[in-house]
Structures are given as structure tokens and as C-alpha cells.
Amino acid sequence: MRISLLFIDRKSFAFPLLLALLPLIFTQCGKTTQPLSENEDILTEEPATNPADPDNQEDQDGQTTGDYPNILFILADDLGLDPMPGYPIGGQKAFLPTLTQLANEGVRFTQAWSNPACTPTRASILTGKYGFRTGVLGVEQDNNIRPSERIIQQAMREQTDGVYRSSVIGKWHVTAGDAFEVPEAMGVDHYAGLFSGGVNDYHRWRFTTNGMTTTQNSYITTALTDLALEWINAQEQPWFCWLAYNAPHSPFHLPPNDLHYQGNLASDEASIDQNPLPYYLAMIESLDTEIGRLLSGLSSATLENTLIVFMGDNGTPNGVVQSPYVSTKAKGSLYHGGVHVPLIVSGYGVERQGEEEEALVTAVDLYNTFLAAAGLSPEDNLDSQSFWPLLNGASIGGRTFNYAEIASNRANRSGYTISDGHHKYIRFNNGTEEFFDLDNDPSEDNNLLEQSLSSSAQNALNALQSKAAEIRQ
């Protein structure tokens, strides 16, 4: 991998940032503890140690590699295809050198689906199951993941007799209220972050760890990066870090100027409300800058043994969504603007470099893909289908359909959708049905059910309805 060169490609004015980070980079290579800048009070827990696995050998940096790779899963909040470089949708793109380089060194998926909102997507990834099985279909208070679910962290822990260490850093948002001990109770070794669904202010937010919640006044995108660096660099065994930023979720705002490339934007509310898009782009760029800092803060040996997966949890929200998406077909909806998300996979074990992959994949597939990447067995009775062989050039049967679902207080939004990549069927809970020819109508404007269907369209509809009935049994 060439991730250590990430900053070389930045705009010229980013070079001072590289210089500023050099001491940090060298400090990490020297195995000393990562300073926490503004957040010295954030991380207090010493990582626990498990009995050493005899198969694991320490590398030159002290991190144990053994036969298992590390996995860094980065989840962005409310990020569709339209602001993302590399996807031919949307007009104004964020400048994202880190994610672009990850894509250049790995695989960018072009037909990846999430669910239309935060909680159901996160629950699907954690459990490898569709929401109608787990009961987590929406973002309301009653959409809690059941403690009895076997989440991916628990599966990795048990399959390796405790060798894998896991953390969830950042947004949890799959259990409501103040049951702050739930991540650890379900098998996560370390939780630190934003327990609820969002913040009112990126500079003032509620931080939870060790079952306790305090108020933090640091910029949250930077703080979560510090927490991830701190935890990863303290590990002595193979690790799985789930890093869930709340960026670029609202409130739209002007991030610190050294984190973005949008220039001198006014920071007053009226200016932001009048034209929020550049602020949204700046927030995505801040995310990218911090991911770059995170990767630069890891040793080369650790990076070489780490799989990196980046994904959006749902589409771009209305207010900042770009054409051809429209505000009624953005985040929260079953249309492509709600469920079509970026997915980039790079790093350890990914032999394909700089390639696009058109295979259908959905959020549930990450569960068994993570297990496959670690050389572990797929878990049975899940909806998750590993796409790991694809990353090494192997052709796999894969899934023949993408599926997404949502429950909302707005009845005309609740329902499910299924697609074979060419046609798409949506069934709303109020009985309304829609059917689109994506090849000729990617904006989903022309509901084919309002006219007579060709025989081929009828066959496609029958196949999608049959498949939906099969999986929803």
C-alpha cells in the first residue's frame, strides 16, 4: 500500500499540514502514546489484554499480526454518491484526496445499497440481517437492536477465542435512551463516542464511554479520530475498529479552516441556510482530512496488515442533495437518492487496485465479508453474502438483487424496495407500488405501473416480486 504518501498529493496549501503532522507520525512510529490535543480527558480506559494467542507474533511495531488482519471500518453519516468523486452523479464534488487514494488502491463499488436512514443501516451491518428480521426498521425510539443479536464483533471474538479485539468509536445509534453499557454487553470490547443519533453542535456534544456520558467541547470529527488513533495504537492483538463519524450529518456548519478546501465561507446561520451545499462539502472534506490523519498516524506495518472499508450509511439529505436526485427522493426515501451509497474497499487482501465493481452489494453483506477477510467462517442464517472474493478478482455468484427497507412515521415513505440492477420495484406500506426501468430512467421518474408493461418488463417485475416474497417469508 502507498497510504503513507497520502499527503503528497494534497493541494499545495496542505503541505504545511503535513509538516505539522510529521512529529505526530514519527511519534507513532516510535510507539509512544498518541497525544490527544484538545481531548486529554476523553480516553481514560486502559485497553484490556487477552491471553496471547500462540499463533500470533509481534511485528516490529509491537502490534500482533498473526494470521489475522486488522479491519478498519469507517462509516460516514448521510453521504450519498452525489458529492463523492468517482461517481458520475451530482455536479459539485468534495475534494477528497484520502478517499480518492483509497479508491485508487482498491475497489470502488458502484451499486452498493444501504437502508434510507442511520439506525436500520447500522443494525443491518452489525447483525448481517435485514431489518424486518431484527425489528430495526427506522430511527424512532422503539427501533432498538435486541441484546440477543449476535453482532459482528461478538462473532469475530468467539471464532478466534478472544484474539480479535474490537472497538466502536463514534456514533452508535442502534439503542435508544441511556443504556450506555449495551455495546460492551453485546461483545464490543471498547465503546467511545456519540451514543445517540446526532449533535446540535459539532463543537459541543455528548461523549459516552465506560457507561458514563460527559459534555465535550472539541470538534467532534477531530475528537473521534483521536479516539480511534488512541485505541488502535494501544492494541497488541488483531483488531476490528468500527469508526462511525457523525459527519457530514447536519447541522451544516463551517468546519475549522485547516480541515477543508471550500475557502473563505461566511459562518453565520443566514449564509449557511441560504446555500448549505458548500458547508456540507466542507464537512465531507474535514472527514477526509481526518481519515488521512488517522492513516498517517498508523505504522506502515500496521497499515499493511489492515483492511479499510469506507461506506455511507444512507443517501444525501434534502437541502444539499444534488441533481439528478431531488429532495423528495433523498435520505429517508427508498429511491436511489436514499439508498445508493459510496463503498470503497482497500488495503490488506485487496488485490484489485483502482477498479470499479458493478456487483450488487448491500449493507448486510459487510458482516460475512468482514469474517471472510479475517479468514473466519461465515455465520449461518444471515442475509449477509460475502463479496470478499470479488476484491481479489474472483468471479462469484453474488447476490442477484439489492434490497432496502424503512419504517417511518410518514406512512407514504415506509416500505421496501428490491432491484436487480436494471429494474426496481418499491412497495410502500400503504399499498402503493412503483416500478422503474433504471437503465432508461435512472432518476425513477416514470412509474411503469401507470401504463401497460412490455413482456420483458412484466417478467422483471414478476421476478422481483417473487424474490421479495421469498426473502420476506
Q: Give contact residues for Ca ion (rule: CB under 5 A).
A: 77-78, 118, 313-314
Contact predicate 57/363, CB 8 Å: no
For Ca ion, the closer of residues 118 and 311 by Cβ is 118
For Ca ion, the closer of residues 77 and 383 by Cβ is 77
CB of 313 to Ca ion, least distance (A): 4
How far is the C-alpha of 83 from the C-alpha of 93, rounded, in Å? 4
CB of 319 to Ca ion, least distance (A): 14
For Ca ion, the closer of residues 87 and 164 by Cβ is 87
CB of 121 to Ca ion, least distance (A): 7
> What nine digits make up the cell of 435?
416500478
How far is the C-alpha of 344 from the C-alpha of 87, rounded, in Å? 12
Residue whose C-beta lies closest to Ca ion = 118
Could you give the 3-state DSSP secondary structure of residue 419? strand
CB of 174 to Ca ion, least distance (A): 12
For Ca ion, the closer of residues 98 and 250 by Cβ is 250
How far is the C-alpha of 118 from the C-alpha of 78, rounded, in Å? 8
For Ca ion, the closer of residues 316 and 385 by Cβ is 316
How far is the C-alpha of 325 from the C-alpha of 90, rounded, in Å? 8
For Ca ion, the closer of residues 163 and 339 by Cβ is 339
| CA nearest neighbour of 415 among 401, 402, 430 | 430
Alpha-carbon 441 to chain mean position = 28
> What nine digits make up the cell of 341?
451509497
For Ca ion, the closer of residues 53 and 78 by Cβ is 78
Beta strand extents in 245-342 (DSSP E only): 306-312
Could you give the 3-state DSSP secondary structure of residue 48? coil
CB of 260 to Ca ion, least distance (A): 20
How far is the C-alpha of 198 from the C-alpha of 219, rounded, in Å? 14
Q: Using N-to-C axis directions, what is the helix angle for 277-296 and 15-29, rounded to 10°?
A: 30
CB of 98 to Ca ion, least distance (A): 20
Contact predicate 200/274, CB 8 Å: no
CB of 250 to Ca ion, least distance (A): 10
